[in-house]
Homo-oligomer: A and B are copies of this chain.
Amino acid sequence: MPAGAREVARVAGVSLSTVSRTLARPDQVAPETREKVLAAARSLGYRPSPAARGLTTGRTQTLGLVVPDLENPYFTSVVKGAQRRALSLGYALIVADTDEDSRQEVELVRSIATRADGVILCSPRTPEEVIVDLAADCTMVLVNRPCGDVPTVTIDNRDGVRQALDHLRALGHRRIAYVGGPRGSWSDDERLAAVRDAEHESDLEMIELGSFRPYVSGGVAAADLVLASGATAVLTYNDLLALGVLDRLRQRGVDVPGRMSVVGIDNIPAAALTTPPLTSVEVPRAASGSAGVDLLLQRLEPERPVPPAEDRLAVQLVVRGSTGTAP
């Protein structure tokens, strides 16, 4: 049903190869011929088949993106950023969600790798050796975790924690709880390390809680521990946890920030809508996605003149109503 290049060639009165060339390297074909071909193509509504092209070129003009959970606002933004960038560079984006199940992840990545030129993997908890293994036969880049010499885009986790803690310290807090995220995830490791650094380098007394699953429910569970710890402020692994803490605190009638200050990390959209609005560390989520695409393309098409992708993104504390002076 859809017209093929052969048909275009017939209509334009040229050979099949000329049609192909007209589209691929227009400068190598006489302007006059070019016009004829383009006109024919247009009139037939010709669209080259990416599958067929891919067969000979080995390029599908498709990228893959694998995340743990599409509904997690963090990854949602990564997907959005990646999608937008991929599209603007002429690539389609296959997205997949592992549902936090890293067992099937390998198979998933491999299967996507057969249809894509490369894949961007967001997989905080998959064992390093599994990833290295995978990277051996799929061209891929990582987001939010370094791993062997697989190219990676990360964010400056330690600086984020530092900013949050500096803020709380400036408000007079000295005893601060950290509600940890998934043990073994690179981000949690980094954040925890920064927490410990802060404790050693200042007069802060840090209380490490957790780990908790990085969802609202985890925060709800953590809130009572935070309260019992005697801390006057709490920093959570991510905003979802902070949201849960906030919710539980409200339920227990605890005044925020009067009695307890709360800081999250990620600055997801919902953070601005809580009562009080959540102070949080803004992390460039969408930029991570688009940087992932850039990094991948840098390997796929070294000749394309894209600016070399940033691979360590800066973060910035956003102060809102959930933090105040220590009681």
Contacts and interface: CB of A to CB of B under 8 A. Distances in A.
Interface stretch (A88-96, A163-171, A302-310): A88-96
B51 A55 contact: yes
Given A47-B110, A93-B96, A115-B51, A80 B84 contact: no
A255 interface: no
Interface residues of A, number: 47
A43 to B, nearest CB: 15
Contacts of A273: 216, 243, 246-247, 270, 274
A2 interface: yes
A216 B92 CA distance: 30
Contacts of A84: 97, 99
A269 B239 CA distance: 14
Interface stretch (A25-33, A70-78, A190-198, A312-320): A70-78
A229 interface: no
A6 interface: no
Contacts of A76: 70-71, 76
Interface in A232-266: 243, 246-247, 250
A63 to B, nearest CB: 10
Given A2-B137, A137-B2, A83 B110 contact: no
Given A62-B94, A71-B77, 15 more contacts: A1-B137, A51-B51, A55-B55, A62-B115, A70-B83, A71-B76, A71-B80, A73-B73, A83-B95, A83-B97, A87-B96, A87-B108, A93-B95, A94-B94, A94-B95
